[in-house]
Amino acid sequence: MHLTKRRQASLVNVERGGSEPALSLSNGHPPRYGGRNRGGCGDPPRTSSARLLLRTAACLLALVGLAAATAHADFDFEAWRTCREIKVLEDAVGEHARFPLDDHVWDHAAGPGLQDLRILRGETDDIGFAVHVPAKAPVRIEERTARVLNVAKRGREASELTLDLGENPPVANRIELRTPAQNFRCPAAVEGSDDGKTWKTLRADGAVFAFTGDVAKRFTKVSFPDTRMRYLRVVVGAPAGAEPIDLAGATVFQETAPETGDLPLLLMHPVQSRTETLQGTETWYRLDLGAKNLPVSKIEIETAEENFTRPVRIDIGNKATMPSRAGGGVVYRYRTARYNEERLAVEFGETFGRYVHVRVRNGDDPPLASARISVYGRPRYVFFPFERGRRYRLFYGNPPARAPQYDYAKTFARVDRAAAVEARLGDAEHNPRFIATRDALGPHPWIIRNQWVLYVGLGVAVIGLVLIAIRALRQTPVEDAAD
């Protein structure tokens, strides 16, 4: 390689212990940089770029954190119509508090989903909460092994079926009959015996029935007190004016009722007004509960009638006309010398509305005497973290609001609900900062409603910038050997 005289002199000077830097070039050109940084040499151009990239990544990372921290905070004073004080006793002590929702909340909230509820602590702190629906624990039902010993008819009076539960009989308290019969109503009694000879009456006033038609219903279960008797016998009386029904078999169960909680499972909705009309062979009742979107899951008919059976249909809606089908069933009462049984309630899947329409099919019988209908629904309780001495308010009345997602609701299963401080809602007040046009705004853009996409994109960008910066920091200067 050809070297200039000045370059040669520089190299000789180094060999003699001169102080001229070994990387100084005689032509005055700056060195070019490249390759790995193996000798710890500085790289001013690359280092500045890398530091800039790292600063950019840090800013993006901070932006992700800020967006995540404020993603849930969609509360805007000007968009919520109604606010109410949450009142707690001054000497109340506890980590959590609860209050029930009343009819005003259901009537003025965005809908049955209650997606526009918000709780403010102090003046600006939008805090998490959970809406709790008390639920009945499932009944524990265990089937018992039983062998059918005998199926017979007692002339024109009754049918009977005898079961053997074995030498060490388990506890039993319910029998479900199987029969091909349709459209019948029969009294039923259950007897028990340890030896198959001496019988003891376990229940004398049971009843079984089956109906077809618009509201089909079948009830062939007879319950009785817990017993360990080996033999059980069911005696089913003949329907009025007909032959005894055929019995095809039976299944024996033990039914264990669950423990009740500290909150009621159902609350009665006061009926504000009612109309009653006779439509052919049916009586139609329309009940106005006075507020929209109320949860309804049960009706109960009270009447002075002694012996009757009526199929019932229930429709519910927020408008007085054109309600939606909610459910149906059969109500009955039998009070005779032979048996005493009644079922006056009809339960169905939870439906929301203001108007409850009940249609009672009378057939050729007159309408039920002095019938009164009660309506029930499952209450809602709002639980929230409580700090003594702080102010709490409930806001609602913003239809476009989205359902919030709080960590408190996700961890609510671990909250000791029985220890929560009791609270109540104050009078409903119009939010003075509400602007009427704000609630007419359309839904948030797609990217706001799906913010996880934004977070993922920003996260990928941060990772990419960090990797580029690390790679740049590892670059080392390389001597220009082109001369």
pLDDT digits 0-9 by tens, 3-23? 444 444 444 443 444 444 443
In 69-199, where do the E strands start and end? Answer: 82-88, 96-100, 118-121, 125-127, 130-132, 140-144, 147-154, 158-164, 172-178, 184-193
Residue 448: inside a domain: no
Measure CA of the first residue to CA of the last residue in the chain; give whole Å.
9
Residue 7: inside a domain: no
Together in a domain, 370 and 385: no
Together in a domain, 372 and 386: no
Together in a domain, 403 and 340: no
Together in a domain, 226 and 302: no
Give the pLDDT confidence score for residue 11 in this predicted structure.
Answer: 40
Together in a domain, 206 and 279: no
Together in a domain, 288 and 346: yes
**Domain edge (last residue) among 377, 398, 417:** 377
Task: Please report, for the domain that includes residue 235, its CATH number.
Answer: 2.60.120.260
Residue 366: inside a domain: yes
Residue 17: inside a domain: no
Measure the CA–CA gap between 16 and 7, rounded to whole angstroms: 14
One-letter amino acid for residue 446 of the chain: W
Sequence-separated (6 or more) residues with CB below 8 Å from residue 473: 37, 46, 47, 50
Together in a domain, 153 and 250: yes
Q: Which of 388, 359, 295 is nearest to 96 (CA)?
A: 388
Measure the CA–CA gap between 386 and 97, rounded to whole angstroms: 6
Measure the CA–CA gap between 330 and 183, rounded to whole angstroms: 12
Biggest distance spanned by C-alpha atoms of the chain: 137
Q: Which of 371, 315, 363 is nearest to 344 (CA)?
A: 371
Together in a domain, 366 and 298: yes
Give the pLDDT confidence score for residue 272 in this predicted structure.
Answer: 96
Tokens 């049960």 label which residue?
Answer: 298
Give the pLDDT confidence score for residue 449 in this predicted structure.
Answer: 57
Structure tokens at 120: 């403010």
Together in a domain, 120 and 194: no
Residue 55: inside a domain: no
Give the pLDDT confidence score for residue 49 in this predicted structure.
Answer: 64
Q: How many distinct structural domains can be found in the chain?
A: 3
Residue 409: inside a domain: yes
Containing structural domain, residue 339: 267-377
**Domain edge (last residue) among 377, 392, 408:** 377
| CA 413 distance to own-chain centroid | 12
Check if the beta carbon of residue 86 is closer than 8 Å to that of residue 395.
Answer: no
Together in a domain, 335 and 314: yes
Low-confidence ranges of the chain (pLDDT < 50): 1-44, 68-73, 439-441, 478-483
Whether pTM > 0.75 for this model: the answer is: no
Give the pLDDT confidence score for residue 52 in this predicted structure.
Answer: 67
Residue 20: inside a domain: no
The β-bridge partners of 255 are 141
Sequence-separated (6 or more) residues with CB below 8 Å from residue 389: none
Give the pLDDT confidence score for residue 162 in this predicted structure.
Answer: 96
Residue 209: inside a domain: yes
Together in a domain, 209 and 281: no
pLDDT digits 0-9 by tens, 79-103? 999 999 999 988 889 999 999 999 9
**Domain edge (last residue) among 256, 276, 292:** 256
Give the pLDDT confidence score for residue 26 in this predicted structure.
Answer: 40
Listed in sequence order, the DSSP H helices in 98-233 are 103-108
Together in a domain, 116 and 145: no
Check if the beta carbon of residue 99 is closer than 8 Å to that of residue 420.
Answer: no
Q: What share of the chain is helix, strand, coil (3-state, %, to 5)?
A: 20, 40, 40
